Amino acid sequence: MKGRIEDYRDPRLTDQLLRDIHDVAGSASSRTISLMEVCGTHTMAIARYGIRSLLPDNLKLLSGPGCPVCVTPAGYVDTAISLSRNPDVTVVTFGDLMRVPGSDSSLAVAKAAGADIRVAYSPSYALELARNQPERKVVFLAIGFETTSPSLAWTLVQAKESRLSNLSFLCACKLIPPALHALASSDEVKIDGLLCPGHVSTIIGTAPYEQLARQYGIPCVVAGFEPVDVLLSVLLLCRRIARGEAKVDIEYSRSVPKEGNPKALKLLGQVFEPADSAWRGLGTIPDSGLEIRSGLSDHDAKTVFGVDIPLGKDNPACRCGDVLRGVISPPECPLFRTACNPLTPVGACMVSGEGACAAFYKYCELEHKKGTQPHGN
Amino acid sequence: MCLAIPSEVLEIHGDEGTVEWQGTKVYANFSLLDNVSLGDYVLLHAGFAIQKYQPEEAEELMELWRKVSEGAD
C-alpha cells in the first residue's frame, strides 16, 4: 500500500520537523505558544509518542474536550442505568461508555448486577438485535461527535423504514464547532492555535474552522494521528502564528476533503436538529448537541420511555472539567494516580482510552523524565 | 472514540461489503459514501465507511511542509 504507516513515523522526517519547530518557536521565545489538540485520539497519540517532551519549553499542548465519553455528563449514564433496570429493556452501548461513572454507579456495575447491557462495535448491531428479539425493547446509547452521528442517523432511518418499533436511541450526540467557539471566546485559557480533529473533519470539512479562524484570529490545522502528522501540524500552526495568519490548513489531506462528507451531513440534517447540550466541564453550550427530530420520536428513547437526562453529580474533588477545558493538566488534579486510576476511575477522563487523564497515566513518566511540565497555565 | 481505520474494499454487495486492514477482514456499511469501488481505501468507523482514504507518499505530505516553509502558500 502506498503511503505506508512507517512513512508517518519516519525518524528522519520527525527529526527535521522538530528542528524546524524549535527554530520557529525559538524566535518567539519571549512568549508562550499554546496549542490545543481537540481530539482524544490526538491526545493519546501525543502522549504515546512522547511528543510533548520533544517540544520547546515555550510551546504548550493543551488537551481539549475531544473525547465524547469524557464530555458526556454523569446524568446521561444515570438515565441509561435507570433504563437498563427495566426488565423489558436491552441497552446497547459502545464499549467506551461501560465504565464511565454516573452519579452513583456505572453501566458495568449495572450489568454485573444483572441488567441486560450489550457492548456493540457498530450501531447496526442494535438493528439486528431488535429484529431477532422483537419482545425486547432495545435502546441504543447514542453518543458521539460528528464522526459517529451519521452512522447513528443511518441506523435510526433503517429502524423507521423497517418499522422496528422496539428500537430507540437515547441521544446525547454532540457537535464540535460550538464547543470550540465556547473555548475560543472564553478568557480562561489562551489558545493560539487549534489542532482540529481529523476524523470529525472527514464529515464536517473545514468550513466551521474557517469561521472560527476569522472570528477569533486563531489558525487551525486539521491533523492526522501519526508522529509526522502531529509534528507537521504543530509546525504549520507555529508558522501561521509567527506570521499572524489565521488560516485553515489541512494536513490530514489523505482523509479530509475540504467539503467533508456531504452525504453524511445531509443525513444528519434529516434525522437530527441542533439543541442546547450539557458538556461535562463546559456546562451547557447553545446548539452544541443533536436531538432526534420530532417526526422520528417513535425512536427517541426520551419520548418512548418518558425520561429526561439530568446533569447528574460529579465527585466534587474530580477536576475532569478543568482538564477538558485545558485549564489544568491531569497530574495537577489531586485525585490523579491516587484515588483516580484506570482500575478505579473517579472521572470520565481516566476511563476512556482517549481521555487525557488515561493518556497521562499511561505515558506521562516519559514526560516527567524530561523534566517538562506537560501543560498548564 | 473517533478512531477510524484505513481499510481496502474487498467485496461490495449493495451498500455493504467486506474491507481489510492489515490482514483482518471485517463487515463494512458503505451507505454514507457514493461510488465506492473494489480496491478503494475507506476510513472505517463503527462499521461504517465514513470517507474515502487517499494513500499518499510521505513525499507528497512533505509538499505542504515545503510550501509553508517557503511561505509559498
Per-domain residue ranges of chain A: 8-65+177-250, 69-175+260-305, 333-368
- The whole-angstrom separation of Cα A17 and Cα A1 is 24
| Mean pLDDT computed over A237-251 | 94
* Residues of chain A contacting residue B64, judged by C-beta atoms under 8 Å apart: 232, 236, 249, 251, 253
Which residue in B6, B45, B53 is closest to A147 by CB distance?
A: B45
Please determine, for residue A258, whether its predicted confidence score (pLDDT) is greater than 60. Answer: yes
Lay out the sheet containing A193-196: strands in order across. A59-63, A33-37, A193-196, A220-222, A248-250
| Within this chain, domains A8-65+177-250 and A69-175+260-305 share the same CATH topology | yes
| Tens of pLDDT, residues A306-352 | 999 988 888 889 999 899 888 999 999 999 999 999 988 998 899 88
CA A145 to chain centre: 7
Alpha-carbon dihedral of residues A361, A365, A367, A370, nearest 10 degrees? 170
Q: A260 CA to chain B: closest CA distance, Å?
A: 8
* Residues of chain B contacting residue A251, judged by C-beta atoms under 8 Å apart: 61, 64
pLDDT at A104: 92
Which residue in B50, B61, B62 is closest to A264 by CB distance?
A: B50
| Tens of pLDDT, residues A172-181 | 999 999 999 9
Which residue in B8, B29, B53 is closest to A124 by CB distance?
A: B29
- The whole-angstrom separation of Cα B28 and Cα B25 is 9
Out of A135-144, A294-303, A322-331, A364-373, least confident range: A364-373
Residues ≥6 apart with Cβ < 8 Å to A251: A221, A222, A223, A224, A229, A232, A233, A236, B61, B64
Confidence label for A372 from pLDDT (cuts 50, 70 and 90): very low
pLDDT at B71: 63
pLDDT at A311: 85
Which residue has better confidence, A268 or A10? A268
Specify whether the CB–CB gap between A30 and A343 falls below 8 A.
no
Q: A254 CA to chain B: closest CA distance, Å?
A: 5
Specify whether the CB–CB gap between A310 and A351 falls below 8 A.
no
- The whole-angstrom separation of Cα A92 and Cα A74 is 18
* Domain topology for A69-175+260-305: Rossmann fold (3.40.50)
Q: Which CATH number fits domain B5-69: 3.20.20.60, 3.30.530.20, 3.30.230.10, 2.30.30.140?
A: 2.30.30.140
* Domain topology for A8-65+177-250: Rossmann fold (3.40.50)
| Mean pLDDT computed over A358-368 | 76
| Mean pLDDT computed over A16-28 | 90
Q: What are the boundaries of each domain within chain B?
A: 5-69
Q: What is the mean pLDDT of chain A?
A: 92
Cα angle: A118, vertex A122, A123; to 5 degrees: 80
Please determine, for residue A28, whether its predicted confidence score (pLDDT) is greater than 90. Answer: no
Please determine, for residue B66, whether its predicted confidence score (pLDDT) is greater than 90. Answer: no
Confidence label for B49 from pLDDT (cuts 50, 70 and 90): very high
Please determine, for residue A245, whether its predicted confidence score (pLDDT) is greater than 50. Answer: yes
Please determine, for residue A184, whether its predicted confidence score (pLDDT) is greater than 90. Answer: yes
Burial of A134 (0-12, 13-18, 19+ CB in 10 A): exposed
pLDDT at B12: 98
pLDDT at A168: 98
Please determine, for residue A368, whether its predicted confidence score (pLDDT) is greater than 70. Answer: no
Residue of B nearest to A67 (CA): B1
Q: How is residue A34 written as a grid cell?
A: 499554546
- The whole-angstrom separation of Cα A268 and Cα A62 is 30
Q: B58 CA to chain A: closest CA distance, Å?
A: 6
Residue of A nearest to B69 (CA): A239
| Mean pLDDT computed over B11-17 | 97
Confidence label for B68 from pLDDT (cuts 50, 70 and 90): low
Out of A38-42, A294-298, B40-44, B66-70, least confident range: B66-70
ipTM surpassing 0.85, yes or no? yes
Confidence label for A153 from pLDDT (cuts 50, 70 and 90): very high
Residue of A nearest to B43 (CA): A255
Q: B16 CA to chain A: closest CA distance, Å?
A: 12
Interchain proximity A202–B43, CB inside 8 Å: yes
Which residue in A20, A148, A352 is closest to B45 by CB distance?
A: A148
Interchain proximity B4–A123, CB inside 8 Å: no
Q: A51: closest CA among A371, A366, A349, A376?
A: A366
pLDDT at A163: 96
pLDDT at B8: 94
| Tens of pLDDT, residues A45-82 | 999 999 999 999 999 999 988 889 889 999 999 999 99
Q: What is the pTM of this model?
A: 0.92
pLDDT at A263: 98
- Residue A44 half-sphere exposure, CB side, CA atoms within 13 Å? 18
Q: A44: closest CA among A281, A377, A349?
A: A349
Chain B residues whose C-beta is within 8 A of a chain A C-beta are 1-4, 6, 8, 29, 31-34, 41, 43, 45-48, 50-51, 53-58, 61-62, 64-65, 68-69, 71, 73
List, in sequence order, the alpha helices (H) in chain A: 11-26, 40-48, 51-54, 68-71, 74-84, 107-112, 124-132, 149-161, 176-185, 198-204, 207-216, 227-243, 262-271, 301-305, 320-324, 348-351, 356-369
| Mean pLDDT computed over A360-370 | 68
| Tens of pLDDT, residues A85-144 | 999 999 999 998 999 999 999 999 999 999 999 999 999 999 999 999 999 999 999 999
Q: A12 CA to chain B: closest CA distance, Å?
A: 12
Which residue in B4, B48, B61 is closest to A228 by CB distance?
A: B61
pLDDT at A370: 46
* Residues of chain B contacting residue A17, judged by C-beta atoms under 8 Å apart: 65
* Residues of chain B contacting residue A203, judged by C-beta atoms under 8 Å apart: 50-51
| Mean pLDDT computed over A213-239 | 95
Q: A240 CA to chain B: closest CA distance, Å?
A: 9
